[in-house]
A and B are shown apart, each in its own frame.
Chain A
Amino acid sequence: MYLVADISVEICASKSCKLCTQYCPEANTILYSEEMGKERGFKYGSAYVAVDRCKGCAQCVWVCDNMAKNNAIKMIMIDQLPKAALTDNITYGEKSTTAVLMSPVVG
Protein backbone atom coordinates (compact mmCIF):
# COMPACT_ATOMS: atom_id res chain seq x y z
CA MET A 1 0.00 0.00 0.00
CA TYR A 2 1.17 3.58 -0.48
CA LEU A 3 0.53 7.08 0.76
CA VAL A 4 -1.24 9.83 -1.14
CA ALA A 5 -2.12 13.40 -0.20
CA ASP A 6 -5.58 14.21 1.11
CA ILE A 7 -6.84 17.78 1.52
CA SER A 8 -9.46 18.67 4.11
CA VAL A 9 -12.03 20.83 2.33
CA GLU A 10 -13.11 22.46 5.61
CA ILE A 11 -9.60 23.57 6.48
CA CYS A 12 -8.49 24.48 2.95
CA ALA A 13 -11.60 26.48 1.99
CA SER A 14 -11.14 28.80 4.94
CA LYS A 15 -7.93 30.01 3.27
CA SER A 16 -7.98 28.70 -0.30
CA CYS A 17 -4.59 30.16 -1.18
CA LYS A 18 -3.89 27.73 -4.08
CA LEU A 19 -0.21 27.57 -3.15
CA CYS A 20 -0.10 23.76 -3.19
CA THR A 21 -1.40 23.74 -6.79
CA GLN A 22 1.73 25.70 -7.77
CA TYR A 23 4.22 23.55 -5.84
CA CYS A 24 3.16 19.97 -6.50
CA PRO A 25 5.80 18.64 -8.89
CA GLU A 26 3.21 16.66 -10.85
CA ALA A 27 1.00 18.33 -13.46
CA ASN A 28 -2.79 18.45 -12.91
CA THR A 29 -2.54 16.52 -9.66
CA ILE A 30 -3.67 19.16 -7.18
CA LEU A 31 -6.66 20.88 -8.71
CA TYR A 32 -8.97 23.63 -7.59
CA SER A 33 -12.75 23.52 -7.28
CA GLU A 34 -14.94 26.54 -6.48
CA GLU A 35 -17.90 24.28 -5.95
CA MET A 36 -16.26 22.05 -3.36
CA GLY A 37 -15.96 24.87 -0.84
CA LYS A 38 -19.10 26.77 -1.75
CA GLU A 39 -21.42 23.81 -1.46
CA ARG A 40 -20.29 23.54 2.16
CA GLY A 41 -21.01 27.20 2.83
CA PHE A 42 -17.53 28.65 2.38
CA LYS A 43 -16.89 31.83 0.41
CA TYR A 44 -14.09 30.25 -1.61
CA GLY A 45 -13.36 26.88 -3.12
CA SER A 46 -10.94 24.16 -2.12
CA ALA A 47 -7.90 22.41 -3.55
CA TYR A 48 -8.16 18.62 -3.98
CA VAL A 49 -5.93 15.79 -5.18
CA ALA A 50 -6.37 13.56 -8.23
CA VAL A 51 -4.97 10.59 -6.33
CA ASP A 52 -4.22 8.49 -9.40
CA ARG A 53 -1.52 11.03 -10.29
CA CYS A 54 -0.14 11.65 -6.80
CA LYS A 55 3.36 10.21 -6.25
CA GLY A 56 3.19 10.63 -2.47
CA CYS A 57 6.12 13.02 -2.06
CA ALA A 58 4.39 15.15 0.62
CA GLN A 59 5.80 18.38 -0.74
CA CYS A 60 2.29 19.81 -0.66
CA VAL A 61 2.10 19.01 3.07
CA TRP A 62 5.24 21.06 3.68
CA VAL A 63 3.89 23.92 1.56
CA CYS A 64 0.52 24.01 3.29
CA ASP A 65 2.04 23.69 6.80
CA ASN A 66 4.96 26.09 6.37
CA MET A 67 4.07 28.54 3.62
CA ALA A 68 0.28 28.70 3.83
CA LYS A 69 0.40 27.93 7.56
CA ASN A 70 -2.90 26.12 7.26
CA ASN A 71 -2.19 22.39 7.92
CA ALA A 72 -4.93 21.24 5.55
CA ILE A 73 -3.08 18.32 3.92
CA LYS A 74 -2.34 14.89 5.37
CA MET A 75 -0.74 11.79 3.83
CA ILE A 76 -3.12 8.81 3.94
CA MET A 77 -2.85 5.21 2.75
CA ILE A 78 -4.74 5.06 -0.54
CA ASP A 79 -7.09 2.31 0.68
CA GLN A 80 -7.97 4.36 3.77
CA LEU A 81 -9.21 7.42 1.88
CA PRO A 82 -12.86 8.05 2.67
CA LYS A 83 -13.49 9.61 -0.76
CA ALA A 84 -11.18 10.92 -3.44
CA ALA A 85 -10.95 12.33 -6.95
CA LEU A 86 -9.59 10.41 -9.93
CA THR A 87 -8.61 12.01 -13.25
CA ASP A 88 -11.44 10.25 -15.11
CA ASN A 89 -14.06 11.95 -12.93
CA ILE A 90 -12.73 15.49 -13.20
CA THR A 91 -14.29 18.10 -15.46
CA TYR A 92 -12.52 21.31 -16.40
CA GLY A 93 -14.54 24.52 -16.55
CA GLU A 94 -13.74 28.14 -17.32
CA LYS A 95 -12.02 29.11 -14.07
CA SER A 96 -12.26 26.01 -11.94
CA THR A 97 -12.82 22.26 -12.07
CA THR A 98 -15.44 19.93 -10.65
CA ALA A 99 -14.92 16.37 -9.47
CA VAL A 100 -17.18 13.44 -8.65
CA LEU A 101 -15.52 11.79 -5.64
CA MET A 102 -15.10 8.02 -5.53
CA SER A 103 -15.28 5.68 -2.58
CA PRO A 104 -13.42 3.41 -2.14
CA VAL A 105 -10.61 4.40 -4.51
CA VAL A 106 -8.95 0.97 -4.60
CA GLY A 107 -9.95 -2.54 -3.59
Chain B
Amino acid sequence: MNIFSELKKSLIVALWFVFLTFPIMVIRVNTIEKIIEWRWRNMLIIAIGSFLVSLLWRYLLTRKQTQTDSQLEKRPLSQLIFEEPKVYKPILVLIGLFVVIFPFIFSSYQINIMTTALMYVMLGLGLNIVVGLAGLLDLGYVAFYAVGAYTYALINHHFGLGFWTILPVGALLAAFFGILLGFPVLRLRGDYLAIVTLGFGEIIRLILENWNEFSFGPSGIAHISRPGFMGINLNLNESIIYLYYLMIFFCLITIFVINRLQNSRIGRAWIALREDEVACQAMGIDKTKTKLTAFALGATWAGMVGVIFAAKTTFVNPASFTFLESAMILSIVVLGGMGSIVGVFIAAMILILTPEYLRAFSNYRMLLFGAVMVLMMVFRPQGIVPNVRRFYRFRRVTSNPGNLYDKSS
Protein backbone atom coordinates (compact mmCIF):
# COMPACT_ATOMS: atom_id res chain seq x y z
CA MET B 1 0.00 0.00 0.00
CA ASN B 2 2.62 2.45 1.14
CA ILE B 3 5.08 1.13 -1.42
CA PHE B 4 2.51 1.58 -4.16
CA SER B 5 1.93 5.21 -3.31
CA GLU B 6 5.71 5.80 -3.22
CA LEU B 7 6.06 4.14 -6.62
CA LYS B 8 3.20 6.22 -7.97
CA LYS B 9 4.75 9.45 -6.72
CA SER B 10 8.12 8.55 -8.20
CA LEU B 11 6.42 7.71 -11.49
CA ILE B 12 4.81 11.16 -11.53
CA VAL B 13 8.21 12.72 -10.82
CA ALA B 14 9.73 10.76 -13.69
CA LEU B 15 6.99 11.84 -16.08
CA TRP B 16 7.38 15.45 -14.99
CA PHE B 17 11.10 15.36 -15.64
CA VAL B 18 10.57 13.77 -19.03
CA PHE B 19 8.16 16.56 -19.87
CA LEU B 20 10.54 19.28 -18.61
CA THR B 21 13.60 17.99 -20.40
CA PHE B 22 11.75 16.97 -23.55
CA PRO B 23 12.60 20.10 -25.60
CA ILE B 24 16.30 20.06 -24.83
CA MET B 25 17.11 16.40 -24.39
CA VAL B 26 14.86 14.72 -26.95
CA ILE B 27 14.26 17.11 -29.82
CA ARG B 28 17.23 18.28 -31.78
CA VAL B 29 16.69 20.55 -34.73
CA ASN B 30 19.40 20.31 -37.30
CA THR B 31 19.18 23.73 -38.91
CA ILE B 32 21.53 22.93 -41.78
CA GLU B 33 19.81 19.84 -43.06
CA LYS B 34 16.47 21.11 -41.79
CA ILE B 35 15.49 17.90 -40.12
CA ILE B 36 14.34 17.11 -36.61
CA GLU B 37 16.13 14.40 -34.74
CA TRP B 38 14.12 12.55 -32.07
CA ARG B 39 16.40 11.13 -29.46
CA TRP B 40 14.04 8.74 -27.69
CA ARG B 41 16.86 6.99 -25.96
CA ASN B 42 17.59 10.13 -23.90
CA MET B 43 13.98 10.21 -22.81
CA LEU B 44 14.16 6.64 -21.57
CA ILE B 45 17.36 7.35 -19.65
CA ILE B 46 15.85 10.43 -18.00
CA ALA B 47 12.66 8.59 -17.13
CA ILE B 48 14.44 5.67 -15.52
CA GLY B 49 17.06 7.87 -13.91
CA SER B 50 14.68 10.34 -12.30
CA PHE B 51 12.39 7.49 -11.23
CA LEU B 52 15.22 5.74 -9.40
CA VAL B 53 16.60 8.93 -7.87
CA SER B 54 13.15 9.92 -6.64
CA LEU B 55 12.64 6.47 -5.15
CA LEU B 56 15.97 6.58 -3.37
CA TRP B 57 15.25 10.09 -2.11
CA ARG B 58 11.91 9.01 -0.69
CA TYR B 59 13.41 5.95 0.90
CA LEU B 60 16.15 7.99 2.60
CA LEU B 61 13.64 10.57 3.79
CA THR B 62 11.35 8.02 5.39
CA ARG B 63 14.31 6.31 6.97
CA LYS B 64 15.46 9.60 8.40
CA GLN B 65 12.03 10.35 9.82
CA THR B 66 11.83 7.10 11.72
CA GLN B 67 15.14 7.70 13.43
CA THR B 68 15.11 9.01 16.97
CA ASP B 69 17.81 11.21 18.35
CA SER B 70 18.05 10.45 22.01
CA GLN B 71 21.42 11.38 23.40
CA LEU B 72 21.34 8.41 25.74
CA GLU B 73 20.35 5.63 23.41
CA LYS B 74 22.05 6.58 20.19
CA ARG B 75 25.30 8.31 20.78
CA PRO B 76 27.32 8.90 17.67
CA LEU B 77 30.45 6.98 16.89
CA SER B 78 32.57 10.11 17.15
CA GLN B 79 31.72 10.51 20.79
CA LEU B 80 32.18 6.88 21.66
CA ILE B 81 35.63 7.08 20.11
CA PHE B 82 36.56 10.05 22.21
CA GLU B 83 35.45 8.38 25.37
CA GLU B 84 37.61 5.28 25.05
CA PRO B 85 41.29 6.10 25.63
CA LYS B 86 42.30 2.74 24.12
CA VAL B 87 40.71 3.76 20.85
CA TYR B 88 41.41 7.44 20.55
CA LYS B 89 44.98 7.45 21.81
CA PRO B 90 46.45 5.41 18.92
CA ILE B 91 44.35 7.43 16.47
CA LEU B 92 45.68 10.67 17.88
CA VAL B 93 49.25 9.36 17.81
CA LEU B 94 48.85 8.33 14.18
CA ILE B 95 47.38 11.68 13.19
CA GLY B 96 50.12 13.46 15.11
CA LEU B 97 52.82 11.45 13.38
CA PHE B 98 51.32 12.13 9.97
CA VAL B 99 51.08 15.83 10.74
CA VAL B 100 54.72 16.00 11.80
CA ILE B 101 56.22 14.14 8.85
CA PHE B 102 53.83 15.63 6.30
CA PRO B 103 56.26 18.32 5.02
CA PHE B 104 58.93 15.71 4.42
CA ILE B 105 56.86 13.44 2.22
CA PHE B 106 54.96 16.00 0.17
CA SER B 107 55.99 18.77 -2.18
CA SER B 108 55.95 22.40 -1.12
CA TYR B 109 52.92 22.90 -3.37
CA GLN B 110 51.01 20.40 -1.30
CA ILE B 111 52.29 21.82 1.96
CA ASN B 112 51.02 25.19 0.85
CA ILE B 113 47.56 23.80 0.16
CA MET B 114 47.54 22.10 3.53
CA THR B 115 48.52 25.35 5.24
CA THR B 116 45.61 27.06 3.51
CA ALA B 117 43.27 24.29 4.64
CA LEU B 118 44.50 24.70 8.19
CA MET B 119 43.83 28.43 7.97
CA TYR B 120 40.26 27.63 7.06
CA VAL B 121 40.06 25.22 9.98
CA MET B 122 40.96 28.11 12.24
CA LEU B 123 38.55 30.48 10.52
CA GLY B 124 35.84 27.87 10.75
CA LEU B 125 36.46 27.32 14.44
CA GLY B 126 36.37 31.07 15.04
CA LEU B 127 33.12 31.53 13.17
CA ASN B 128 31.86 28.49 14.98
CA ILE B 129 31.82 30.53 18.17
CA VAL B 130 29.54 33.11 16.62
CA VAL B 131 27.32 30.92 14.46
CA GLY B 132 27.60 27.46 15.96
CA LEU B 133 27.60 28.27 19.64
CA ALA B 134 25.95 31.67 19.98
CA GLY B 135 23.65 31.13 17.00
CA LEU B 136 24.31 34.55 15.47
CA LEU B 137 24.26 34.19 11.71
CA ASP B 138 27.25 36.29 10.64
CA LEU B 139 27.70 36.64 6.88
CA GLY B 140 30.41 39.27 7.13
CA TYR B 141 33.01 37.27 8.96
CA VAL B 142 35.56 37.90 6.24
CA ALA B 143 35.68 41.54 7.35
CA PHE B 144 37.62 40.60 10.48
CA TYR B 145 39.91 38.43 8.42
CA ALA B 146 40.58 41.49 6.25
CA VAL B 147 41.17 43.65 9.32
CA GLY B 148 43.86 41.25 10.50
CA ALA B 149 45.50 40.97 7.09
CA TYR B 150 45.55 44.71 6.48
CA THR B 151 46.75 45.42 10.00
CA TYR B 152 49.85 43.39 9.32
CA ALA B 153 50.25 44.57 5.73
CA LEU B 154 49.98 48.27 6.58
CA ILE B 155 52.05 48.31 9.75
CA ASN B 156 54.70 46.16 8.11
CA HIS B 157 54.71 48.42 5.07
CA HIS B 158 54.94 51.68 7.00
CA PHE B 159 56.89 50.77 10.10
CA GLY B 160 58.52 47.49 9.23
CA LEU B 161 57.28 45.74 12.37
CA GLY B 162 57.42 41.96 12.27
CA PHE B 163 54.88 39.15 12.29
CA TRP B 164 55.04 38.25 15.95
CA THR B 165 54.61 41.84 17.10
CA ILE B 166 51.62 42.42 14.88
CA LEU B 167 49.86 39.12 15.54
CA PRO B 168 48.35 40.25 18.88
CA VAL B 169 47.68 43.71 17.45
CA GLY B 170 45.76 42.24 14.52
CA ALA B 171 43.82 39.97 16.85
CA LEU B 172 42.91 42.82 19.19
CA LEU B 173 41.95 45.16 16.39
CA ALA B 174 39.71 42.48 14.89
CA ALA B 175 38.13 41.95 18.32
CA PHE B 176 37.51 45.68 18.50
CA PHE B 177 35.81 45.58 15.10
CA GLY B 178 33.83 42.60 16.33
CA ILE B 179 32.45 44.70 19.16
CA LEU B 180 31.91 47.60 16.79
CA LEU B 181 29.73 45.38 14.64
CA GLY B 182 28.17 43.81 17.71
CA PHE B 183 26.66 46.96 19.15
CA PRO B 184 24.32 47.97 16.34
CA VAL B 185 23.14 44.41 15.75
CA LEU B 186 22.39 43.55 19.37
CA ARG B 187 18.66 43.66 18.78
CA LEU B 188 18.72 41.80 15.51
CA ARG B 189 18.20 38.13 14.96
CA GLY B 190 18.20 35.61 12.16
CA ASP B 191 17.70 37.06 8.68
CA TYR B 192 18.03 40.67 9.80
CA LEU B 193 21.31 40.00 11.50
CA ALA B 194 22.53 38.13 8.42
CA ILE B 195 21.76 41.08 6.16
CA VAL B 196 23.46 43.64 8.40
CA THR B 197 26.58 41.54 8.86
CA LEU B 198 26.68 40.91 5.12
CA GLY B 199 26.58 44.67 4.62
CA PHE B 200 29.31 45.17 7.18
CA GLY B 201 31.58 42.75 5.34
CA GLU B 202 30.99 44.58 2.09
CA ILE B 203 31.59 47.97 3.69
CA ILE B 204 35.01 46.91 4.91
CA ARG B 205 35.89 45.49 1.52
CA LEU B 206 34.68 48.60 -0.31
CA ILE B 207 36.64 50.88 2.00
CA LEU B 208 39.76 48.86 1.32
CA GLU B 209 39.07 49.00 -2.39
CA ASN B 210 38.36 52.71 -2.63
CA TRP B 211 40.36 54.49 0.03
CA ASN B 212 43.52 54.55 -1.99
CA GLU B 213 45.58 56.75 0.34
CA PHE B 214 44.99 54.37 3.18
CA SER B 215 44.92 50.91 1.69
CA PHE B 216 46.46 51.35 -1.77
CA GLY B 217 43.13 50.39 -3.35
CA PRO B 218 42.63 47.38 -5.59
CA SER B 219 46.33 47.06 -6.34
CA GLY B 220 46.91 46.04 -2.75
CA ILE B 221 50.10 45.87 -0.73
CA ALA B 222 53.02 43.71 -1.78
CA HIS B 223 56.33 42.65 -0.26
CA ILE B 224 55.00 41.89 3.19
CA SER B 225 57.58 40.16 5.37
CA ARG B 226 57.24 36.48 6.03
CA PRO B 227 57.29 35.46 9.66
CA GLY B 228 60.81 35.32 11.05
CA PHE B 229 62.09 32.36 12.99
CA MET B 230 63.99 33.71 15.99
CA GLY B 231 65.75 36.32 13.91
CA ILE B 232 66.87 33.92 11.19
CA ASN B 233 65.78 34.74 7.65
CA LEU B 234 64.34 31.71 5.92
CA ASN B 235 64.36 30.91 2.24
CA LEU B 236 61.08 30.29 0.42
CA ASN B 237 61.01 26.55 0.91
CA GLU B 238 61.91 26.73 4.57
CA SER B 239 59.36 29.40 5.25
CA ILE B 240 56.63 27.31 3.64
CA ILE B 241 57.46 24.49 6.01
CA TYR B 242 57.75 26.92 8.89
CA LEU B 243 54.33 28.37 8.15
CA TYR B 244 52.88 24.89 7.98
CA TYR B 245 54.14 24.05 11.46
CA LEU B 246 53.03 27.45 12.66
CA MET B 247 49.52 26.74 11.42
CA ILE B 248 49.51 23.36 13.12
CA PHE B 249 50.51 25.10 16.31
CA PHE B 250 47.81 27.75 15.98
CA CYS B 251 45.18 25.15 15.13
CA LEU B 252 46.09 23.17 18.23
CA ILE B 253 45.80 26.28 20.35
CA THR B 254 42.46 27.13 18.76
CA ILE B 255 41.08 23.66 19.35
CA PHE B 256 42.33 23.72 22.90
CA VAL B 257 40.78 27.09 23.65
CA ILE B 258 37.46 26.45 21.91
CA ASN B 259 37.14 23.10 23.56
CA ARG B 260 37.55 24.75 26.93
CA LEU B 261 35.21 27.58 26.07
CA GLN B 262 32.48 25.20 24.92
CA ASN B 263 32.02 23.64 28.31
CA SER B 264 32.55 26.75 30.35
CA ARG B 265 30.11 29.13 31.94
CA ILE B 266 30.45 31.51 28.98
CA GLY B 267 30.15 28.74 26.40
CA ARG B 268 26.95 27.48 27.95
CA ALA B 269 25.57 31.01 28.00
CA TRP B 270 26.23 31.28 24.25
CA ILE B 271 24.42 28.03 23.59
CA ALA B 272 21.52 29.09 25.77
CA LEU B 273 21.35 32.35 23.81
CA ARG B 274 21.19 30.35 20.60
CA GLU B 275 18.50 28.04 21.92
CA ASP B 276 16.10 30.63 23.33
CA GLU B 277 16.92 34.27 23.75
CA VAL B 278 14.11 35.17 26.14
CA ALA B 279 14.57 32.14 28.36
CA CYS B 280 18.29 32.82 28.36
CA GLN B 281 17.75 36.31 29.71
CA ALA B 282 15.19 35.02 32.17
CA MET B 283 17.98 32.84 33.55
CA GLY B 284 19.86 35.99 34.46
CA ILE B 285 22.22 36.05 31.49
CA ASP B 286 23.17 39.48 30.21
CA LYS B 287 22.32 39.30 26.52
CA THR B 288 24.45 42.30 25.56
CA LYS B 289 27.58 41.06 27.24
CA THR B 290 27.17 37.53 25.98
CA LYS B 291 26.62 38.55 22.38
CA LEU B 292 29.50 40.99 22.39
CA THR B 293 31.94 38.44 23.80
CA ALA B 294 30.88 36.02 21.08
CA PHE B 295 31.42 38.60 18.35
CA ALA B 296 34.71 39.75 19.82
CA LEU B 297 36.16 36.29 20.38
CA GLY B 298 35.04 35.04 16.98
CA ALA B 299 36.61 38.08 15.34
CA THR B 300 39.85 37.61 17.26
CA TRP B 301 40.43 34.35 15.47
CA ALA B 302 39.69 35.80 12.08
CA GLY B 303 42.11 38.64 12.85
CA MET B 304 44.89 36.22 13.71
CA VAL B 305 44.35 34.15 10.58
CA GLY B 306 44.32 37.42 8.63
CA VAL B 307 47.78 38.30 9.90
CA ILE B 308 48.99 34.80 9.03
CA PHE B 309 47.40 35.05 5.59
CA ALA B 310 49.20 38.33 4.85
CA ALA B 311 52.46 36.81 6.01
CA LYS B 312 51.94 33.68 3.95
CA THR B 313 51.06 35.29 0.64
CA THR B 314 53.24 38.40 1.25
CA PHE B 315 50.58 40.27 -0.70
CA VAL B 316 47.07 41.43 0.16
CA ASN B 317 44.40 43.12 -1.88
CA PRO B 318 40.64 43.47 -1.38
CA ALA B 319 39.89 40.67 -3.85
CA SER B 320 40.79 38.11 -1.18
CA PHE B 321 38.02 39.30 1.10
CA THR B 322 34.85 38.94 -0.91
CA PHE B 323 31.52 37.61 0.27
CA LEU B 324 32.36 34.27 -1.30
CA GLU B 325 35.01 33.87 1.35
CA SER B 326 32.48 34.43 4.15
CA ALA B 327 30.15 31.97 2.47
CA MET B 328 32.94 29.41 2.29
CA ILE B 329 33.74 29.72 5.99
CA LEU B 330 30.07 29.54 6.87
CA SER B 331 29.70 26.42 4.73
CA ILE B 332 32.54 24.83 6.66
CA VAL B 333 30.73 25.46 9.92
CA VAL B 334 27.35 24.29 8.68
CA LEU B 335 28.67 21.27 6.83
CA GLY B 336 30.86 20.23 9.72
CA GLY B 337 28.15 20.50 12.32
CA MET B 338 27.28 23.61 14.28
CA GLY B 339 29.41 23.81 17.38
CA SER B 340 31.43 20.71 16.62
CA ILE B 341 35.21 21.02 16.52
CA VAL B 342 35.94 17.72 14.77
CA GLY B 343 33.19 18.44 12.27
CA VAL B 344 34.59 21.84 11.37
CA PHE B 345 38.02 20.30 10.94
CA ILE B 346 36.78 17.60 8.58
CA ALA B 347 34.59 20.00 6.62
CA ALA B 348 37.45 22.46 6.11
CA MET B 349 39.63 19.67 4.82
CA ILE B 350 36.93 18.45 2.44
CA LEU B 351 35.94 21.88 1.14
CA ILE B 352 39.46 23.22 0.68
CA LEU B 353 41.39 20.14 -0.33
CA THR B 354 38.98 18.39 -2.70
CA PRO B 355 38.77 21.29 -5.20
CA GLU B 356 42.56 21.35 -5.28
CA TYR B 357 42.87 17.68 -6.04
CA LEU B 358 39.86 17.51 -8.33
CA ARG B 359 41.06 20.12 -10.77
CA ALA B 360 39.62 17.99 -13.56
CA PHE B 361 36.13 18.81 -12.35
CA SER B 362 36.81 22.47 -11.73
CA ASN B 363 34.03 23.48 -14.12
CA TYR B 364 31.49 21.66 -12.00
CA ARG B 365 32.91 22.83 -8.71
CA MET B 366 30.10 25.15 -7.71
CA LEU B 367 27.50 22.70 -8.98
CA LEU B 368 28.94 19.90 -6.87
CA PHE B 369 29.30 22.25 -3.95
CA GLY B 370 25.64 23.24 -4.16
CA ALA B 371 24.48 19.67 -4.55
CA VAL B 372 26.47 18.54 -1.51
CA MET B 373 25.07 21.38 0.58
CA VAL B 374 21.47 20.61 -0.40
CA LEU B 375 21.90 16.91 0.28
CA MET B 376 23.48 17.63 3.65
CA MET B 377 20.72 20.01 4.68
CA VAL B 378 18.03 17.49 3.78
CA PHE B 379 19.54 14.33 5.19
CA ARG B 380 21.96 15.46 7.84
CA PRO B 381 21.15 19.00 8.95
CA GLN B 382 23.16 18.49 12.11
CA GLY B 383 26.37 18.29 10.05
CA ILE B 384 29.03 15.67 9.41
CA VAL B 385 29.91 15.29 13.06
CA PRO B 386 27.03 16.62 15.14
CA ASN B 387 27.95 18.39 18.32
CA VAL B 388 27.19 16.23 21.30
CA ARG B 389 26.73 17.75 24.68
CA ARG B 390 28.98 16.78 27.49
CA PHE B 391 28.16 13.67 29.44
CA TYR B 392 28.23 13.82 33.23
CA ARG B 393 28.39 10.79 35.46
CA PHE B 394 27.02 10.77 38.96
CA ARG B 395 27.27 8.01 41.46
CA ARG B 396 24.80 8.23 44.24
CA VAL B 397 26.02 7.60 47.73
CA THR B 398 22.91 7.22 49.81
CA SER B 399 24.57 7.34 53.21
CA ASN B 400 25.61 10.97 52.89
CA PRO B 401 22.70 13.09 51.73
CA GLY B 402 24.81 16.23 51.58
CA ASN B 403 27.02 14.73 48.92
CA LEU B 404 24.82 12.41 46.95
CA TYR B 405 27.08 11.78 44.04
CA ASP B 406 30.51 11.88 42.70
CA LYS B 407 31.31 13.54 39.44
CA SER B 408 33.56 11.71 37.07
CA SER B 409 33.51 13.05 33.56
Q: A and B: real partners? A: no
User: Which residues of chain A have a CB within 8 Å of any CB of chain B?
Assistant: none
User: Which residues of chain B have a CB within 8 Å of any CB of chain A?
Assistant: none
